[in-house]
Amino acid sequence: MTTGIDALAYDIAKIHLPIRTLAEARNIEPDKLEKGLGLIKMTLPDAHQDTVVFGANALTRLITDNAIDPADIARIYVGTESGIDSSKPIGSFLVSLMEQKFGHNSFAECDTVDFTFACIGAVDALHNCLDYIRLNPGKKAIVVATDIAKYDLESTGEYTQGAGAVAMLITANPRIIAIENNWAVSTKGVFDFFKPYRTIAKKDITNIDANEPWFGNLESVIEIHKDQPVFDGQYSNTCYTDRTREAYYSFKKLTGTTGSLYNTWEGIMMHLPYAFQGRRMFAEIFALDADTPLLTGDEEATDYQTRIREISKSDDYKAFVAQKLQPAEAASSLIGNLYTGSVFMGFISAIAKYAAEAKDLTGKKIGFLAYGSGSKSKVFEGTLQPGWYDAATNARLFQTLEQSHSIDFDTYQKLHKKEQHYSVLVPVNEWVLDRIEHEIPNLTGARYYKWVE
C-alpha cells in the first residue's frame, strides 16, 4: 500500500499588478525583478477575499471536481500563516462553509485544525495526514494551504506578494504521487521572519496621560497585529540555505543514498518566495553533492562563497536548473509568493509543464525541499503515479493564470491600504466575505461568508 496525493485543486487571486508597473513606480530597474528574480506578475486579494475565501474555493473545487462524498472525509487540516483569529482556526470556517454547500451536518464528524510554522505549515499538515492514512487506509484526508503574502509598501519584500490556496486529497494508493515515509528535518529557533504582536502606548493615540478606556481597551498599551512581517532578507536567505542543506544531508543519510541524491530526482520542488529563490539557494548543494564534488566545504569562507557564485553561473548548473528546477518556477513568476502553498503550487506547475511536453514520467521520483522561517526545513520525496498526467492536464493551471486581470498602481495601493472597499471584479461562482459583525457585543468581529452564483 502507498499513500500520497490523490487529487489537487487551487484558487488563485484573479487580479494582479504587473511587476514592471511596480518597478517603475518604485524606481527599480524592471530587469532586476523580471530577469534577476523571475517575477512577472504579483497577485492580490480583491476586496471580498481573505484566506478563508481562497481556502474555501480550493476546497469546494476539490470536492466537486472529484465527486468526493463528505462522509468519507475524516479530516481537513489547514496550513497557513495568515490566520484571521488567534483562537478560531481557518479549518473551522471551512467546515462551516462546506456544510452550507453540501448539507447540514455533512462534516460534523470531520476533524479540523490549523498548522502554523511560517511557509512550512501545510507540509506539516501533509506529514500528519499521511501518517493518519497509513494507520487508516480506508479514510480520506484533505490538506488546504491558504495564504496572503503581504509586505509593507516600499519594503524589499513588496514585489514578492501573492495570494491563493491549494487543496490536496490524501489517500491510500493515490493517483498522482505516492510519498515515501522518509522525512528529514532541520530546525533552529531564529528571528529571520516573523509576525509579532506590536504595541503602542495608549497615550500616544489619545494624547491623554491617564489610562482611560479606549474603544473597549482597558490596557495602557494597544496591541496591533499586522499581516506584514518583520524580516531580514539576507539573514532569512542564510537560514533558508542552512536549514535546507542540513535537512538534505539528513535525508541522504536516512535513505542510505550513495552518490548524488539530487540526481535520483526527476524534478525538485522548493519553497519559492520568488521564482528564482530555489535556483539561487540550491547552487551550494549542487556543488557539494555532485557525483564529483565541486566543493569540499573546507575552503575559506570568502573563497567558498566566490566559488558558489561561479558555479551558479556555469553551463552545467544552468542545464541542471532548466531540467530540475525551472518547471516549478513558471507558476511562481505569474502568481508571487503563496507562503504555505508555494511548494505545492510549484508541484502543480511542474507536472503541468511535464504534461505539456508529453513526458512519460510515471515511476519517476520528485524531491521536495520545504522551508518555513523561524526556522525549519523538511525534505521528502515521492513517486509519480499513472494519474499524474490527467491531473496535470485537467488542472488547466496556465490557462487559468492567463485570465488574470491586470490592475493599475493606484488601485493596488488602495487595496493594500484597505481604502477600497468594493471589488475590482464581480465575484461569480465563488465564496465571498459577506460581512464582519460590529454591533452585537458577543459576536464582535465574527466573519460571515456566502456563496455567490
pLDDT, tens digit, 9 for 90 and up, residues 17-58:
999 999 999 999 999 999 999 999 999 999 999 999 999 999
Place of cell 475590482: 424
**406: Cβ contacts below 8 Å, ≥ 6 apart:** 15, 16, 17, 18
User: At 128, which CATH number?
Assistant: 3.40.47.10
Q: The domain containing residue 76 runs over which residues?
A: 3-192+232-452
pTM beyond cutoff 0.95: yes
Strands (E), 343-407: 365-372, 376-384, 405-406
210 and 281 part of one domain = no
Rounded to 5°, the CA angle 393-394-396 comes to 75
181 and 254 part of one domain = yes
pLDDT of residue 349: 98
Residue 367 CA to residue 252 CA, distance in Å, equals 11
256 and 402 part of one domain = yes
pLDDT of residue 114: 98
Show the low-confidence residues of the chain (pLDDT under 50). Answer: none
208 and 184 part of one domain = no
pLDDT of residue 299: 84
pLDDT of residue 296: 80
259 and 216 part of one domain = no
251 and 210 part of one domain = no
208 and 245 part of one domain = no
CB 328 within 8 A of CB 272: yes
What's the domain count of the chain? Answer: 2
149 and 208 part of one domain = no
240 and 383 part of one domain = yes
Residue 335 CA to residue 401 CA, distance in Å, equals 8
